Structure 1
Amino acid sequence: MIEAMTTKARLALALLIGASVLTAGCATRPDPSDEAAVHAYEQANDPIEPLNRYFFELNRFADIVALKPAAELYDGVLPRFAKQGVRHFLDNLRSPVILANDVLQGEWERAETTATRFGINTTVGVLGLDDPASDYGYSRHGEDFGQTLAVYGVEEGPYLFLPVLGPAPPRDLTGVAVDSFFDPLTYIYWDGPYTVPVTRFVLNGVDMRARNLGVLNEIERTSIDFYATVRSLYRQSRAEEIANGQTNVEDLPDISNISFE
């Protein structure tokens, strides 16, 4: 069974690479004389944009027919305390991955916070269904191996949007793969090797979609180009996560020449 799935995965990867090569030529570089267009092209860093847009529309279709209705049902049926319990539980399960990346980044205080949160919420919080650690001053933060690679200077790479996964540039896609080795749930075999991770993945997707129903509707309604907006928001979000929420003063606009007279 596993061998068959591995063969299918290799075939899918081969098809993806082949399609990428075939469509890469569609995202042609603009005329060098058009500086604004060249700058926008380089900022987008999206050499296989036609393929990415195709997968983006596939995901939108899946969202319309399955994920969004499931999220609306989940949001409408479950009381607030139950949804909070699900979120706390899923966040607590993520703690070993966050801790591993805290340590790899040399963020010892954050690692201590993560370990303390996990201990408190797993015991006092009843397996993570509640979050008393936050009440004790141990606020949650997220880390993943994609962020760890960024801390050590690895570039994001060209933008890539995949079915189901969504935005997944090479650096962050590598991070997803490595984080699976840090995740204890990867090694739990319950009615098959993928049951537990897939169940967690689906539940997390439905919960996150439910929490962002209004936000995503508003973004789509007000976006001239929904795909480009999602791409931009993803990069902004990742940049903030990598910086641990700290503003890089080098990215701020130069206001030295502004006159207040």
Structure 2
Amino acid sequence: MAVALNTLVEEADRYLNSAKIHDYCPNGLQVEGRPQVMRIVSGVTASQALLDAAVQAQADLILVHHGYFWKGENPCVTGMKQRRLKTLLKHDISLLAYHLPLDLHPEVGNNVQLARHLDITVESALDPADSKVVGLVGSLAEPVSPRDFARRVQEVTGREPLLVEGPEMIRRVGWCTGGGQGYIDHAVAAGVDLYISGEASEQTFHSARENGISFIAAGHHATERYGVQALGEYLARRFAVEHLFIDCANPI
């Protein structure tokens, strides 16, 4: 069954409330392809590897978390950007991308989806007083050691996380997927035993150690695989179209 491209995009925009979220890139339809959609391919980043895989899968639309046209980037269509856009236009494939709207959503968002995979019960925003802080706070059913929780993360994500082991058992958790390591101070203020992000900075180690909490960097790509899959499944159910998630490996 096919659905009109405009109808699918309008529903995705509405569902994610994307028009009301200030971001570093345009959210929604970034490249327009054929007017009808029967097959969606989703992935974390609109890399050349994902585009080539989507062409092989005969996709009508590619749905991603990391799309194109970021604030401050060179606007010239040359090199890698030219090759990527040429692939989409040559094969008449649309590109649909959502960044912060896909981090924030209470059902299919990256943060909520990671919590479900790690069996964390969501309780509140990481900083309820600051809506610009993207992250959540929650709890585990039972206290676990930092190393045991790191093993759980490895089982879920399929990659060994970086662990800064704190002195306490873990019950209360704060997290922000992707490049959210800068929110560790908000996590400390929230009184967590563990903060999880995708990436780590040099100073993250010291913040965790000196504040007596554990920290896990589980990978930017690895922590942001789940939101786009959930959104793809939502759209597939809503419009009775096909959906295929393609995971292009990324160790970062």
Q: Please indicate the TM-score interval, normalised by the length of the shorter structure.
A: under 0.3
> TM-score scaled to structure 1, two decimals?
0.24
Higher strand proportion: 2
> TM-score scaled to structure 2, two decimals?
0.25
Q: Could you say which structure has the larger radius of gyration?
A: 1
Higher helix proportion: 1
